[in-house]
Structure 1
């Protein structure tokens, strides 16, 4: 197995492996922006295309800045002071700027596509690993992978379908057992696997919250609570 295959295999721990990879990638890119690109002219031009980042990534970046003692809000303030000056300039010229595509969303979409394609290219090696793992592809990434396989390897597509159904059935059984343990007649407490079945079920149906998920659902309203609010 090559390095990319090993990287994908290592993501087969719990939940959707593609979502988990995307979440780590998103966090890494936000760190890179805050630690290295605050004053980068090229990145600043990309920011100007959308007057900063999209709503979701703007608030996520600010939350990250406040949560890291070594960062603080200064870098974000520098970026958005420039964006505010840019916006004022537009208005003074009598223009109302359109918000372009968030460059971090674009990076996330590219990462999502390349990750699923890499999984499909290595399906013979990864499918047995996936079957043995606790991972369950979320609905969206399962569909992406299945569509690629249906075009290039129908046999692998059918195998993936059977594995996915079996994994979802196991998840449903665990979630059912979790519900049963709330009956007053139950004598046992929920197991670790049963407790985790609820968030994993939501992840299997809706995926993890990342920029691509929020953009796909069209809901960019942040639900995060910040200490100054």
Structure 2
């Protein structure tokens, strides 16, 4: 079943450079972080979730560093996380792991970790939930790929035309799209377009490499000049800007 809002987002993303799934997914992650900082900083449920994940992952921390308008909210959340971290480290140091609290003792039993005391302390400090922004992005990725496969299977003229003219998918999202696809004709179209985009990019990379040969250094650059960046994006799913 198609989701109208997602259909519109997919059409908008397909006319922009780069993998449309990466673009929609990243935008969903940024919207989630902005909403969290704008209205959820003091929400108990949100605070509890962030404590379980020890905040956000490294990639989303870099995103947060750009949100200077929400610096106070970030400070409030991270001060609480550091308070929890300080108390937990002090607790494990002061009482010793051999005579620790029932909660920590039971946790270590579940881990069945016979390693050193330091390793066991580190296990206590592990996150118990994934980065919440990563979770939102993972859900978005699945929804977008289902929508793309659905529309290709339905032979939607707009999506089919836009996808054929787009940059194609990044390699990770292409593999994931194939794993979710069921319609043979849709799979064929998905693969044919991807092959065209990869072959075109490969040709540009060859031209980029050729023009670095001393014999051709005087030749002017064309569209292949940024092909090395676009190859990073296609192969890794990395979206810049």
TM-score of the pair, normalised by structure 1: 0.78
- Which SS does the other structure have where 1:15 is aligned? coil
Q: CA deviation at 1:163?
A: 1.6
Task: Give yes or no for contact 1:17–1:137 (8 Å, CA) kept in 2.
Answer: yes
Provide, for residues 121-164 of structure 1, a one-character-per-residue CA deviation record: whole Å limited to 9, x for no partner: 1112223321122x121111101111222xx2012212221221
Task: Give yes or no for contact 1:14–1:136 (8 Å, CA) kept in 2.
Answer: no
Picking from 190, 210, 216, the partner of 2:221 is: 190
Q: CA deviation at 1:172?
A: 1.0
Where does 1:145-156 land on structure 2 (aligned, <5 Å)? Answer: 145-149=177-181, 152-156=182-186
Q: CA deviation at 1:29?
A: 2.0
May I ask how many residue pairs the two structures share in their alignment?
201
- Which SS does the other structure have where 2:224 is aligned? helix
Provide, for residues 29-84 of structure 1, a one-character-per-residue CA deviation record: whole Å limited to 9, x for no partner: 222222222222221111111222223323432x223xx3x33x322221111112
Where does 1:3-42 land on structure 2 (aligned, <5 Å)? Answer: 3-12=5-14, 13-42=16-45
> For residue 161 of structure 1, what is the aligned residue in structure 2?
191
**Does residue 113 of the first structure (1) align with residue 147 of the second (2)?**
no
Picking from 114, 122, 130, the partner of 2:151 is: 122
In 2, the alpha carbon distance for the partners of 1:184 and 1:93 equals 64
In 1, the alpha carbon distance for the partners of 2:28 and 2:131 equals 16
> For residue 210 of structure 2, what is the aligned residue in structure 1?
180
- Which SS does the other structure have where 1:14 is aligned? coil
Q: CA deviation at 1:27?
A: 2.1
**Does residue 99 of the first structure (1) align with residue 97 of the second (2)?**
no
Stretches of structure 1 that go unaligned for 5 or more consecutive residues are 211-229
Stretches of structure 2 that go unaligned for 5 or more consecutive residues are 93-103, 105-123
* TM-align CA RMSD: 2.2
Task: Give yes or no for contact 2:21–2:144 (8 Å, CA) kept in 1.
Answer: yes
TM-score of the pair, normalised by structure 2: 0.74
Change (3 A) 1:155 1:93: same
Provide, for residues 84-143 of structure 1, a one-character-per-residue CA deviation record: whole Å limited to 9, x for no partner: 22223334544433312222211111111111111111112223321122x121111101
Query: In proportion to residue count, which structure has more helix?
Result: 2
